[in-house]
Structure 1
Amino acid sequence: MALEQVWLVLNGKAAGDEAMREAVGTLRGQGHPLQVRVTWEHGDASRYVDEAIAHGAQAVVAAGGDGTVSEVAAALAQRDGPADRLPALAVLPLGTANDLATAAELPRAPLDALRALDQYPAVPVDLLRVEANGQARWCVNLASGGFGTEVTVETAEGLKSMLGGLAYVITGIAKLGRIDTVQARFEGPGFSWNGSFIALGIGNGRQAGGGQVLCPDARLDDGLLDLTIVPELSGEVKATLGALVGGGKEAALERIAVRAQMRSLHIEGDDPLTLNLDGEPLQSRRFDISCVPGRIRMHLPAGCPLLA
């Protein structure tokens, strides 16, 4: 792919990243007039996607964290027309958690990530469409709820900058003495669950919150959303907590989690509940979530774990 047909949407917080600047300078020095746009406020990514489409761009690179990836993906998904008539999405991870890029095994070095556009094909991937409060939002990686959402929302930006994904763990430990459960009803094709939970994952991707794997079997291209519910810690559930020490977090989660795959899901709570969509909280009493197959294309490596 000729890099003059690539537009790079760079999160303003990463504009001073030296490796990023060197990568762009290297490619431009080799004769590739890579187009760079820096986000400053909400809506910038959408405007830059419009600009890229108007100029016939073949790919838009989301350079930042999971929030930047989600914003660019949503901007593409909102456009009219099928995925093959829109620029493909590429990811250059520059955020704190980079959950989607990590699970997809994408290069972290900016120069490697940009050069990989020539090596990684653009393949159709699904998106989650979340309807709540009379509006629709898009989610490319994972929607989470309960304790995990509180940890992600409450983790301070300064702590994230200093400690990366470890910041989420520290914040979570600080909250262990005051975990509040959430009561909700879940309905989907062939699935029904009603009860209190402490954590929830609705995956297109697998992990959130700096490496917390909630939906280990999720795929970006299977046409299904993966649901994981971690029930409240009572009765038999409390007896499994020893696995947190003996077998690791994943072992404990496997023993207590409720899991299912489906094309659509309705969630209704007695009180308003919060879903964290790729890092952005959304509060409502009712959510209607559907998996939209092949809504955009994404540059991913051959053998990517997130592809079926």
Structure 2
Amino acid sequence: MTSPHWRLILNGKSAGDDDLRAAVHAMRERGVVLDVRVTWEDGDAGRHVAEAIADRVGTLVAAGGDGTLSEVATALAHCDLQVDALPTLGLVPMGTANDFAAAAGLPDAPLSALELVAAQPAHAIDLLRLEANGRTHWAANLASGGFGTQVTVETPEGMKKLLGGLAYLLTGLSKLGRIEPVEATLHGPDFAWRGGFIALGVGNGRQAGGGQALCPDAWVDDGRLDVTVIPELAGEVAATLGTVVSEGKIAALDRVATRARLPWIEIDAAQPLVLNLDGEPVEAKHFRIECAPGRVRMHLPADCPLLSQPSR
């Protein structure tokens, strides 16, 4: 029987992680042929994925945060191959917030995450494709805008390393009282919204920015994007966010949110708008975001909350 051939694509920021190193050795001792490649600069993930396909690697494992996952998934999506001919995809959460991994119920420990890849079959999952300024961008999790995006973009890298997801909360609290709504028009099939929003989420995952559950009911395999718009809350912003912090959830925002499930959506803003695409800021006045159904196959827990039909 041929041993499985995996390739782990590791974010360079986590290259010295002892637990990951031990987990890689443990999987090799169990018979998995597991190579490691490290990303240091833009384009590395794409090169490593192309090399893995040429080497007929069966499974790619992204080791990093949401950005690393999206970089590897993007490289797979760009390949001119049928989905069944592409390597399957696994994830070892190594980022600051790990929003996709948290929503998917993936284990935090590197060895447990690799064991899950070995034990669970891969599911076809959707990706998010965003068009802006004549360029195409891809993501596995969410595109977010408004207050949450400002927090994610403005949180210092050093604070992220020291405090993890708490860094986003502290940055958010510092912005209370100066949240300015974004004026925009959104439309999709049988859906239209216009006004000022303080938060926007579009995607296949459920949370972004260190735990902001913007799309709490999203699935990654339904061929649709979940859309959440939190409108301007005149005079109530501080109280609403205070409820979020004290209760540890978005119950207050939920009461005023507009939600939809669409195959695509277009966004037009009066002024340049920044959308955070799994850590990549994209600025434009016009966006078109589409769901790319079943674009990659990913190893997820049997009871993964993001699957519309979990394999229990």
Q: TM-score with structure 1 length normalisation?
A: 0.95
Distance (Å, rounded) in 2 between the aligned partners of 1:262 and 1:153 = 27
Q: Deviations over 1:31-71 (max 9, x none)?
A: 43311001111100000000110011111000011110010
Deviation of residue 27 (structure 1)?
Answer: 2.6
More helix by share: 1
Residue in structure 1 matched with residue 74 of structure 2 by the alignment: 74
Residues 25/171 of structure 1: CA separation in 2 closer, same or farther (3 Å cut): same
Residues 244/108 of structure 1: CA separation in 2 closer, same or farther (3 Å cut): closer
Distance (Å, rounded) in 2 between the aligned partners of 1:109 and 1:246 = 29
Q: Give the counterpart letter for 1:62 in structure 2.
A: A
Tell me if structure 2 keeps the 8 A contact 1:23–1:111: yes
Mapping 1:278-293, distance limit 5 Å? 278-293=278-293
Tell me if structure 1 keeps the 8 A contact 2:126–2:293: yes
Q: Percent identity, please.
A: 60
Alpha-carbon RMSD: 1.8
Q: Give the counterpart letter for 1:169 in structure 2.
A: L
**SS of 2:183's equivalent?**
strand
Q: Give the counterpart letter for 1:277 in structure 2.
A: L
Residue in structure 2 matched with residue 168 of structure 1 by the alignment: 168
Aligned length: 308
**SS of 1:207's equivalent?**
coil
Residues 25/265 of structure 1: CA separation in 2 closer, same or farther (3 Å cut): same
Residue in structure 2 matched with residue 230 of structure 1 by the alignment: 230
Q: Give the counterpart letter for 1:92 in structure 2.
A: V
Residues 239/35 of structure 1: CA separation in 2 closer, same or farther (3 Å cut): closer
Distance (Å, rounded) in 1 between the aligned partners of 2:248 and 2:256 = 13
Mapping 1:254-269, distance limit 5 Å? 254-269=254-269
Residue in structure 2 matched with residue 60 of structure 1 by the alignment: 60
Distance (Å, rounded) in 2 between the aligned partners of 1:35 and 1:245 = 42
Tell me if structure 2 keeps the 8 A contact 1:121–1:301: no
Mapping 1:69-108, distance limit 5 Å? 69-108=69-108
Residue in structure 2 matched with residue 253 of structure 1 by the alignment: 253
Counterpart check, 1:181 vs 2:186: no
Runs (4+) of structure 1 exceeding 3 A deviation are 1-4, 29-33, 235-249
Q: Where in structure 1 are there 5+ consecutive unaligned residues?
A: none
Deviation of residue 236 (structure 1)?
Answer: 7.8
Distance (Å, rounded) in 1 between the aligned partners of 2:12 and 2:242 = 43
Q: Where in structure 2 are there 5+ consecutive unaligned residues?
A: none
Q: Give the counterpart letter for 2:32 in structure 1.
A: H
**SS of 2:108's equivalent?**
coil
Residue in structure 1 matched with residue 301 of structure 2 by the alignment: 301
**SS of 2:75's equivalent?**
helix
Deviation of residue 6 (structure 1)?
Answer: 0.5
Residue in structure 1 matched with residue 27 of structure 2 by the alignment: 27
Q: Give the counterpart letter for 1:162 in structure 2.
A: L
**SS of 1:97's equivalent?**
coil
Deviation of residue 139 (structure 1)?
Answer: 1.2
Q: TM-score with structure 2 length normalisation?
A: 0.94
Tell me if structure 2 keeps the 8 A contact 1:274–1:282: yes
Distance (Å, rounded) in 2 between the aligned partners of 1:117 and 1:217 = 24
Deviation of residue 110 (structure 1)?
Answer: 1.1
